[in-house]
Structure 1
Amino acid sequence: MIAVLSPAKTLDLDTPPPFPATPARFAAEAATLAKAASHLTQKRLSELMKISPALAKLNADRFRDFDAAEERPALYTFAGDVYTGLEAATLDEPAVHFAQDHLRLLSGLYGLLRPLDGMRPYRLEMGTRWAPRRDKLTDWWGPRIADALAADVAAEGSGTVLNLASNEYWEAVAGKLPAAIRVVAVDFREADDRFISFHAKKARGMMARYLVEHHVTDLDGMKAFDTADYRFDSDASDDARWTFRRAA
């Protein structure tokens, strides 16, 4: 089984990573996109990404200086809500090595990353309606991300994907995987059935942590996930979407 996560807008560029970076599969594509984005004005970046002028300047500078920036392992660089739940800094070495084989991080700039793959600072959401010679980023990537994920699933051997990514990022894969690959998405709910985005994002990270800590290779083994009082709700689940609900 391979679990898939979204990236994060917030980055940790200060904490020294405990492992060296491995080569990213789509590093050349990332450099191509970053070079194209470096020609966008700060105003255009602000409009495209719906960010403040200060953030637009930060990211314009990052694209301009992309080739000179230090590479860091993605798992120790993304720092949003999902990665707060994952708590990568406290994973032991066997869990990190398991993650390298069983966890993938979707990225607007890098396509598909293994946890230790090197990345440079950037911000470019998969839903951005811009790309070189295309109307939007998902069109630019085409089937490449799904093909890479399918190849990883084939090499891993289970034929299953645990989709812990947001809809925005899963769009780069949806409908493009071979029919033989089973995909299960996960819905995290409160005891009263409310969906709370912050809690759900953190739970996605916690579930990824559970997978790599317990070295879970069988999809059904993930039904035992019980971090933060979540429990598998069989009545609200089907073959394609599982619901985990907090205990009352």
Structure 2
Amino acid sequence: MIIVVSPAKALDFESPWATQKNSKPALIKRSEELVDVLSGKSPDQLGSLMSLSDSLAELNFERYQDWSTPFTKRNSRPAILSFNGDTYTGMNASESFSEEDYDYAQETLRILSGLYGVLRPLDLIQPYRLEMGTKLETEHGNNLYEFWGSSLTESLGKALKESPGEKVLINLASNEYFKSVHTEELGFPVMTPIFLDRKDGGDYKTVSFYAKRARGSMASWIIRNRISQCQQFEEFSENGYKFCSERSNEQSPVFIRTNS
């Protein structure tokens, strides 16, 4: 079983490391190709490419000027401790993971990334901003989906073959990022959990903020409890969610929550 999640725009490169374990990204040579293109752009060009404010454009210009290999503990940080968005708030790895949990996450969790392709949680990264949907022209095509091609799918397929438990890809990523995975080439089934919330007697619906946190919470639950079979997902009950058999199917288990 392999879990995939999206990265986050917000980054944390300041707080203490919750674990000293670390590894190197497998696709770093491809990342260097992208940085070669990005470091040649001005702040204005980066701002236009990524729809950034002037201050964010300047920040990311400086990031790409400073980006360099080799990655070390002085200039980099493990991916799972670097991303700071809603999914990672829900995951809460720095406070809830044991050293054994980090080891298990390294086997079972993958983070899709516009710059790094596929990351294991302990892979070192340097600060960046590059969303998967960015229309960055390279010699491989007009956008990042064309740049990465089938390489992310191949990486996930290899990880699935070597993973513990049932051979299924658990998709907890956004549509923008999961589009980079060619599911028809994967060779393994995909399961995409859905989280629905209801408030004040209204209809159940996906609320982006809640869904992102729920994805992180589910990823953490899988890792901490060593979940290895799809049938076990019916037991998920973190943060008030419960499995809804009436709305679910094998590919998309649905979890509902009523908010007061």
Distance 1:238 1:227, change over 3 A: same
Q: Which runs of 5+ in 2 are unaligned?
A: none
Q: Secondary structure at the match of 1:30?
A: helix
Matched pairs, number: 247
What is the RMSD computed on CA atoms of the aligned residues? 1.4
State the match for 1:177 in structure 2. 185
In 2, distance between residues paired with 1:89 and 1:209? 11
2:104 to 98, 118, 122: 98
In 2, distance between residues paired with 1:92 and 1:247? 31
State the match for 2:212 in structure 1. 201
Give the superposition deviation at 1:222: 2.0
The answer (yes or no) to whether the contact 1:143–1:176 under 8 Å persists in 2 is: no
Give the superposition deviation at 1:201: 0.3
In 1, distance between residues paired with 2:184 and 2:118? 14
Deviation sequence 1:111-169 (CA, Å, 0-9, x none): 10110011111010000011312210010000000000000001115320100000000
2:250 to 216, 222, 239: 239
State the match for 1:164 in structure 2. 172
Task: Please say if 1:8 is aligned against 2:1.
Answer: no
The answer (yes or no) to whether the contact 2:78–2:123 under 8 Å persists in 1 is: yes
Superposed, which structure 2 residues align to 1:1-248 within 5 Å? 1-17=1-17, 18-67=19-68, 70-90=75-95, 91-133=97-139, 134-156=141-163, 158-179=166-187, 181-191=188-198, 192-247=203-258
Give the superposition deviation at 1:175: 3.2
Which stretch of the first structure deviates more once superposed, 143-152 or 21-30? 21-30
Q: Which runs of 5+ in 1 are unaligned?
A: none
In 1, distance between residues paired with 2:115 and 2:184? 19
Deviation sequence 1:167-224 (CA, Å, 0-9, x none): 0000000335334x01001111103312110000000000001011101111221221
Amino acid at match of 1:9: K
Q: Taking structure 2 as the reference length, what is the TM-score of the superposition?
A: 0.91
The answer (yes or no) to whether the contact 2:67–2:126 under 8 Å persists in 1 is: yes
The percentage of counterpart residues that share the same residue type is: 35
In 1, distance between residues paired with 2:137 and 2:84? 25
The answer (yes or no) to whether the contact 1:3–1:102 under 8 Å persists in 2 is: yes
Q: Taking structure 1 as the reference length, what is the TM-score of the superposition?
A: 0.95
In 2, distance between residues paired with 1:19 and 1:182? 34
Q: Secondary structure at the match of 1:177?
A: helix
Give the superposition deviation at 1:12: 0.3
